[in-house]
Chains A and B, each alone.
Chain A
Amino acid sequence: MEDLNFIPSDREVRLEPNQSLIFKFSNEYKLEYVNDFFTDFTGYEIHDVIGEGVEGMKHSDIPKLISSMLYESVENKKNINIILKNTTKDGRFYWFLTDFQYEIDEENKLLSFKYYRRFPSKSAIPTLEKLYKKLLDIENHASIEVAEKYLYGFLEEKNMSFSEYTAFLSKGEDFKSMVQKVETSQNLPAGKAGKKSWFRK
């Protein structure tokens, strides 16, 4: 298929509360599986992304700092629940809440991980949009390091992690119960957490 002149549009597609995009990655961060809904929702074909990453779907409104926070969490095998924006194949955008689950062997080595993109609380988005704009402006006028210090001071003032701040803005029951579920599963012995929550889905 021909590559159309890709211009992100300001049109939004919305994830519904019962919908999630599911990505499964190998320990080398290669995409091994995506659910069918991903295809329905984003317009990408499964073969467009399998074996690759999800880099190409990034939205230019998301500061580099925020993307790097996500990678850092994955590298540390930590869950992170933040709200991000991404593009569909035809250039529209959607907001989603990130959620990670790791499968780890007895020696704490990563076997694989799942990346869920879930329904985000609408109430959190306007505030996050403003924050992302500020961070992006700081990145462009100063540097990522300066933006990182700003975000650090911002969260420090609120005494929250970014996940906690996102939850605080969301105030949604769905989000709370979802995060609690994940936290419970993370407390299980290594190696079982991933599997247990896999069956629960």
Chain B
Amino acid sequence: MRLYLVRRLTGSLVTLIGVAVLVFLLLRVLPGDEITARFGIESGSLTPAQRESLERYYGLDQPLVVQFFTWLGSVLTGNFGISVTSGSSVARLIGRALPVTIELAVLSTLIGAVLGVSVGVMAASNPNGFRDGAGQTFGLLGLGIPNFVIASAIIAFLAQRFGYFPAAASYVDFWEDPLINLQQQLYPALTLGVALAAATMRTTRSAFIEAASQDFVRTARGKGLSARRVKWRHVLGNSLTPIVTIVGIQFGYLLGGTIIVEEIFALPGMGRLVLTGISQREYAVVQSSVLVIAALFVVVNLLVDLAYARIDPRVRLT
């Protein structure tokens, strides 16, 4: 188990370093540099001397390696730089957007997992029966209907029934007013959750059917266990690995922000932050956001690996 943990941790660290290098290089490779970004077309009229002094000011005269480690050093000490357009620190911007995204991700994943696993088990309990057909139809619809359609339908319903229109300016933090906050988060979470549930349902269904055909399930029934115990303990227990995998991937993906849903429901999350950052050439914002998102993704993957070991004792040996 210790070896397993050490291996996963090392893997995570290597991934993170890789992401840092990649993000750093990508931004250097893109046409234009920070000076161009800041001065726009006027940067063409800078004299070589002015440009040189600006480069020295921003540290751009240093070799790439030095620049990388300077940046990495400041990121590690929590200094993500300053957003040029808003003037506030990038750390503060991320600090505001990240909780919105994390809350949305947690809620959507919960809805998706609970709905997906229950419909999946229901469908798999009687393959090709009526419930299976209903479950599969739900799965196809959930996968097939794009997010923005579901979202628009929900918004139309909300506006008509409650006269409610989402607006970014009116977003309320959970700590300020949990009730209003949950109201604002619930509908986007439902929108995302339904789509996630469809994928989880299909994974659950096939994993469950496969596990149900195993010999040990026959043993369990032969012992005189109740049908319920056989189903939830023995069959579902042995279908958990693929389910955890898909739910983990979904959660990690959601932590990167969901541009369409955030946009429609006017949630000031990571998706919007990155999108605005890109359109305004806010390199510091984009660079740091991507790094934070990647770090979270790596952490989620690590948690999924730990879950595998928790589920299956054989994994602890590898």
Same complex for A and B? Answer: no
Instruction: Report B's interface with A, CB cutoff 8 A.
Output: none
Instruction: Report A's interface with B, CB cutoff 8 A.
Output: none
